[in-house]
Structure 1
Amino acid sequence: MSEPGAPGDRPDGGGPRPPYPPYQYPQWQPPVPPKKTSPAAVVLIIGSVVVVILMALAFLAWGYPGFLRDDLPKSAIGTLPSTSASPPPLSTAATTEPSAAYTLPHSGPAPMPKRPKPLADPVTCAFTPDPTSPAPKKVALPPDGPAPSSGTVPVRLATSAGAIGLSLDRALAPCTVVNFLSLVKQGFYDGTSCHRLSVAAGLQMLQCGDPVGDGTGGPGYTIRDEVFPELTYGRGVLAMAKTAQPDSGGSQFFLVFGKTEIPPEYTVFGSIDDPGLAVLDKVAQGGVDTAKSNIGDGSGPPKTPVTFTQVTTP
């Protein structure tokens, strides 16, 4: 209510730089004209410069912190992926290579994660307006209040690359399902495109749902995370992208078609059908359009465009 990529070598020689998760870009703010500063302000400015230098040195040594960096030993998108969400433009100390070619998997979808303890039925959902989130498509907030935590709902993504069928799982994330269905029924996703593809080892996903088209947009509100430690992100999983902050998802989501090793911080709320995975495989094999990519982690817009012509549910 997070984005991923092919890493370059770390400056300290510690192996490959992990990809970033699925996420939303920070919104750019115009610079403020300088004002006359007092001696105390000068001291504060000098102190701030020192802090920035120390942070830059830490970045050079260990990469971008938090959700924007996937520590493989820890998790294993963040980055959907950062999200989730999955997601960019973060300056990097070293230039990374584009995502490597994607190899078709020899197995079907991975087992879906399951909650160790079922949720209460119903649960209570609440959605928070976010005036800082770019929302070129104005939509009403989903309804607050009780929501069922059992059953599934089919959704069909008609795209320029082929149809992708989803099954939304209320038992995994009932409020996230309420949110997604609300956006679908309001036509929010129609005409939007998937802006981020990663085929890097450890982060193989397609990120979609941004009405702006560059990873910064959302519906104008946020939703709560519905996560638990046992979450995994195998082939066939549908999950929400977000920023580095908790409870910051909105409309962006990611579709996992391959190995994705990220922390259990991104809400899983459904699965992808076999024909949909075949469409994603085709998009992945087409690769990343490096002429348009500016994320810096090897991920970027897919060469095979994926535009939602119509998203429907019964």
Structure 2
Amino acid sequence: MPDNKKRGEEALAHLGRELKARDRKEKTRPLGVVAASAVVILALVGGIYFLSTRDGSEDKVQAEESSTATTPETPTATALTGKRAKALPATVQCTYDSAGEAAKEASKPSGKDVSTKGTVTVNFETSQGPIDMELDRALAPCTTNAIASLAESGYYNDTVCHRMTSGQLNVLQCGDPSGKGSGGPGFQFANEYPTDEADDAAASNPVIYPRGSIAMANAGAGTNGSQFFLNYEDSTLAPDYTYFGNVGDEGLKTLDKIAETGVEGGASDGAPAEEVKITRATVKNS
């Protein structure tokens, strides 16, 4: 009977063959934020596979139990500090590429000379209470620029937070006007912190997105759009999701209230048991 190491090697080899076959197939059709059959990124974290997937063109962050036994070589997850190892220049150039049909009319933000200084406060009035968020330009300037622009334009008004998870992954996911998890603003942009600081070795190591952190949902690197997730408790994932801000004290109280109600039908992944609707967003630069 093969040992754990042998089984792990065989599983990885099988996965590699599947991904290569899928890649050849996917190259025959366009891939965008709205139209893609499946983009899967796996990271083995303490016996759990964490995936960023698109199930039926859906931007998701997903945790699944794995039957594969862990080995002593499995790295320990470290908590993200929310601080860059090296500061960015005073301004950066951001690229926002067209990507499919927008779920709701939205304009691309300007990507020229985007500031990396200061913060942007976005306040969501929701059906469950206020959620205040502080977005950090120094951490993720292009993401902050895009989300602030969408919020200021009214893109998030009258939209629901369509997904909630509990257990290994503790998030409330919002930002899709269609409410289905497949909608975006019609443009996409690159990953930032922590992805852009991770070398090839660190890219496969798990990290902890701490309670209160805000990160972008995606369907693979460079497919960030309008969807984001709020961590109401720590969540362990690969460093594949741009961490761009934190929820304030009032917002955490609202998230705790939503989390206590749970997921619809008592599941661990699905729509919130009670609807969470963003009725209005306001933006303040500082």
Pick closer, same or farther for the CA change 1:312–1:144 going to 2, 3 Å.
same
Q: Distance in 2 between matches of 1:270 and 1:74?
A: 29
In structure 1, the partner of 2:84 is: 115
Structure 1 alignment gaps of length 5 or more? 1-13, 15-47, 53-63, 95-109
Determine if the alignment matches structure 1 residue 313 to structure 2 residue 246.
no
Q: 2:227 aligns with which of 233, 242, 252?
A: 252
Equivalent residues of 1:239, 1:255 under 8 A apart: yes
1:250 alignment partner AA? G
Which is worse superposed, 134-143 or 204-213? Answer: 134-143
Q: Distance in 2 between matches of 1:265 and 1:75?
A: 16
Q: Distance in 2 between matches of 1:116 and 1:84?
A: 32
2:256 alignment partner AA? D
Determine if the alignment matches structure 1 residue 219 to structure 2 residue 181.
no
Q: Distance in 2 between matches of 1:206 and 1:81?
A: 17
Number of aligned pairs?
A: 227
Pick closer, same or farther for the CA change 1:157–1:65 going to 2, 3 Å.
closer
Equivalent residues of 2:264, 2:273 under 8 A apart: yes
Q: Distance in 2 between matches of 1:188 and 1:141?
A: 12
Q: 1:86 aligns with which of 60, 75, 92?
A: 60
Question: What do the CA deviations read for 1:67-124 (whole angstroms, capped 9, x no partner)?
Answer: 3x55323899645999994258xxx999xxxxxxxxxxxxxxx874211011111111
Larger radius of gyration: 1
Which is worse superposed, 272-281 or 231-240? Answer: 231-240
Deviation at 1:305, TM superposition (A): 1.2
1:289 alignment partner AA? E
Pick closer, same or farther for the CA change 1:79–1:93 going to 2, 3 Å.
closer
Cα RMSD of the aligned pairs, angstroms, is: 3.3
Q: 1:233 aligns with which of 209, 217, 224?
A: 209
- 1:90-105 correspondence runs (5 A): none
Equivalent residues of 1:80, 1:239 under 8 A apart: no
Q: Distance in 2 between matches of 1:113 and 1:84?
A: 27
Determine if the alignment matches structure 1 residue 73 to structure 2 residue 46.
yes
Structure 2 alignment gaps of length 5 or more? 1-7, 9-17, 23-37, 67-78
In structure 1, the partner of 2:271 is: 301
1:308 alignment partner AA? I
Equivalent residues of 1:81, 1:241 under 8 A apart: no
Determine if the alignment matches structure 1 residue 285 to structure 2 residue 260.
yes
Q: Distance in 2 between matches of 1:77 and 1:282?
A: 26
Q: Distance in 2 between matches of 1:127 and 1:196?
A: 26
Which structure has the highest strand share of the two? 2
In structure 2, the partner of 1:139 is: 106
In structure 2, the partner of 1:129 is: 98
Q: Distance in 2 between matches of 1:259 and 1:81?
A: 23
TM-score by length of 2: 0.71
Determine if the alignment matches structure 1 residue 177 to structure 2 residue 144.
yes
Pick closer, same or farther for the CA change 1:214–1:194 going to 2, 3 Å.
same
Structure 2 SS opposite 1:261: strand
Deviation at 1:65, TM superposition (A): 8.4
Deviation at 1:222, TM superposition (A): 0.4
Determine if the alignment matches structure 1 residue 164 to structure 2 residue 131.
yes
Deviation at 1:288, TM superposition (A): 0.7
Q: Distance in 1 between matches of 2:162 and 2:174?
A: 6
Q: Distance in 1 between matches of 2:223 and 2:54?
A: 13
Question: What do the CA deviations read for 1:120-153 (whole angstroms, capped 9, x no partner)?
Answer: 111111100012xx42311111112111112111
Q: Distance in 1 between matches of 2:244 and 2:58?
A: 13
1:129 alignment partner AA? S
Question: What do the CA deviations read for 1:159-182 (whole angstroms, capped 9, x no partner)?
Answer: 000001100100110010110111
Determine if the alignment matches structure 1 residue 192 to structure 2 residue 167.
no
Structure 1 SS opposite 2:269: coil
Q: Distance in 2 between matches of 1:178 and 1:217?
A: 19
Q: Distance in 1 between matches of 2:283 and 2:276?
A: 19
Structure 2 SS opposite 1:283: helix
Question: What percent of counterpart residues are identical?
Answer: 36
Equivalent residues of 1:75, 1:262 under 8 A apart: no
Q: Distance in 1 between matches of 2:98 and 2:111?
A: 12
Pick closer, same or farther for the CA change 1:205–1:269 going to 2, 3 Å.
same
Deviation at 1:258, TM superposition (A): 0.6
In structure 1, the partner of 2:26 is: none
